[in-house]
Amino acid sequence: MKPDISVTFACLNQSRYTKACLESVLQAGISADQVIVVDNASTDDTHTVLSNFPGIHVIVNRTNLGCGVAWNQGALLQQTEWTIVMNNDIVVVPGWAEELVRSAERHNLQLVSPAMVEGSDDYDLRAAGLQRAEQASMALRPGHVHAVCMLVHASIWQKVGYFRASPHLLGYEDTLFFNECRARGIRMGTVGSSWIHHYGSITQNAMRLERGLSSRDGLGDRHNYRLLGKNRVVRKWEKFRLRQSIRQCQTQEIATLGFSLHGQKALAEQIRWEVY
């Protein structure tokens, strides 16, 4: 029996990535009526690209309402047991969604992210992803998820709520959401049984260029951190502990698997499995 699942993402221009993402999702076995795309007022040919995928659900916003609003729109449209919320700058492999659900049930998780490779796509994603998924089928990075792609169980919407709906957050929505999930004891993790390729924050980088910002500059209001309700010492301590935990996970993954669950693909080189 197939899981009760929907897939949603927001997009703002960058139509070629949206096209590649949709093609990979449909080729991976997700039916068109399970897909919801929220267009945050694109000005390129995104509308034309989306019209070439009959059967998908498309929500068009008149202005850019931000990720939080768009993710909520997508999640609320179908209200399935499981919702995959993700970026439009990723491509997936066959079985990716089903493996996320199976791993969530196996490890008793409510919030799950797939393993991923970032950077150049000059390699056979399908072959590499399926091979890594088989090798790391039981691997789990407990307590760590990412907003590039996350499987959310419906119980979270009831226990935690939806994403903070404010356009000025500009990418901080996931930080607030994960913070609330941890505070409420939501079981989460990244699993090795499902893999994706991420090109690397394409939309946010484009928005930085439009604003004359460097890749190191944040897009959102510099005071967004206040929404966490934590003082500077607590924030720095939690950030340190998070990084330390990720490094420990990576060390263990490399020792047992020979690679980590988050790697960087460099152009014309082998996949490097670095610290993330």
Q: What is the pLDDT of residue 238?
A: 85
Average pLDDT over residues 68-92: 96
Q: Does the residue 264 lie in any domain?
A: no
Per-residue b/e over 202-241, b at no fewer than 16 CB within 10 Å?
bbbbebbeeeeeeeeeebbeeebbeebeeeeeeeeeeeee
Instruction: Please report whether residue 248 resides in a domain.
Output: no
- Give the range of the structural domain holding residue 194, as residue numbers without chain letter: 5-228
Which run of H or E residues covers position 106?
helix 96-107
Q: Compute the distance between CA of residue 184 and CA of residue 23 in angstroms, rounded to an integer.
A: 36
149-181 per-position pLDDT tens digit: 999 999 999 999 999 887 777 678 899 999 999
Asked whether the beta carbons of 111 and 159 are under 8 A apart, the reply is no
Query: Residue 183 is inside which H or E element, if any?
Result: helix 173-183
Read off the tokens for 26. 């449909």
Residue 106 lies in a domain: yes
166 phi/psi in degrees, rounded to 5: -145, 115
Q: Is residue 247 part of a domain?
A: no
Q: Could you give the CA distance from residue 220 to residue 210 in angstroms, rounded to a whole number?
A: 14
Q: For residue 62, tell me if it sits in a domain.
A: yes
How far, in Å, CA of 133 to CA of 224, rounded? 36
The CATH number of whichever domain residue 81 belongs to comes to 3.90.550.10
- Mean pLDDT (the chain) is 87
Q: Report yes or no on 265 lying in a domain.
A: no
Tell me if the pTM is above 0.85. Answer: yes
Per-residue pLDDT tens over the stretch 105-162: 999 999 999 999 988 888 888 898 889 999 999 999 999 999 999 999 999 999 999 9
**Would you state the structure tokens that stand for residue 152, as one six-digit string?**
């959310």
Say yes or no to pLDDT of 226 above 80: no
Does residue 21 sit within a domain? yes
> What's the total number of domains in the chain?
1
Residue 80: what pLDDT?
97
